[in-house]
Amino acid sequence: MAAEAPAAEKPARNFKGRGDRRFGRRERREPREKEFFEKTVKIKRCSKTVKGGRRQSFSAIVISGNQKGKVGFGFGKANDVSEAVKKATEKSKEKMLDIQVKNGTIPHDIIGQYKSATVVMRPAAPGTGVIAGSSVRAVCEACGITDILCKSLGSKNAINTVKATFNGLEHLMTAAEVAKIRGKSVKEIWG
């Protein structure tokens, strides 16, 4: 047999003019940490009877906060659940409330009211935890309160309970205000 000549190496391919293979593909991004803690408290479905049948719509209540004393709530309505939650989330970030949290609790007892919903909030010792109903718990977690005792009285409606909680938190006084009313120094108040 005749000796075969070694096969010639294949020439290098020329990719000029073809562009980047990754063109049109999305770059992978690191999942960034959320700035706010968000919690959906309640999603309700409402149906309207029309000529062709029932038309569904949804409403959602969302609590958002930075867990460092800032908290807000939003109420959104839409024909789709995700759209209602999105609207509520945007509204919750528009109007945020600043709360003074010291050692993970509130400075003093407070009662919040909205219509027939009443929420009683009391400061608790470290390690107690958040002892509250679901909607009040969401507000406390969002604003960074770790130790508190709460009791919801009257209406158990989620929207009214959240609004009553916010009413109570709005009326919280700072240590300086409490000290001024009592005629003591701030150091004596906080201990």
In the chain, what is the greatest distance between 2 CA atoms, to the nearest angstrom?
Answer: 114
Q: What percentage of the chain carries pLDDT values higher than 90? A: 67
Amino acid identity at 46: C
Q: pLDDT of 127-151, one tens digit each? A: 999 999 999 999 999 999 999 999 9
First-residue to last-residue Cα distance in the chain: 103
Q: pLDDT of 100-121, one tens digit each? A: 888 899 988 999 999 999 999 9
Domains of the chain and CATH, by start: 37-97 (3.30.160.20), 100-182 (3.30.230.10)
pLDDT band at 19 (very low <50, low <70, confident <90, very high): low
Is pLDDT above 60 for 1?
A: no
Rounded Cα–Cα distance for residues 89 and 93 (Å): 7
Q: pLDDT of 41-90, one tens digit each? A: 999 999 999 999 999 999 999 999 999 999 999 999 999 999 999 999 99
Average pLDDT over residues 21-40: 73
Is pLDDT above 90 for 5?
A: no
Residue 108, pLDDT score: 87
Rounded Cα–Cα distance for residues 1 and 18 (Å): 44
Contact status, residue 147 vs residue 104, Cβ threshold 8 Å: yes
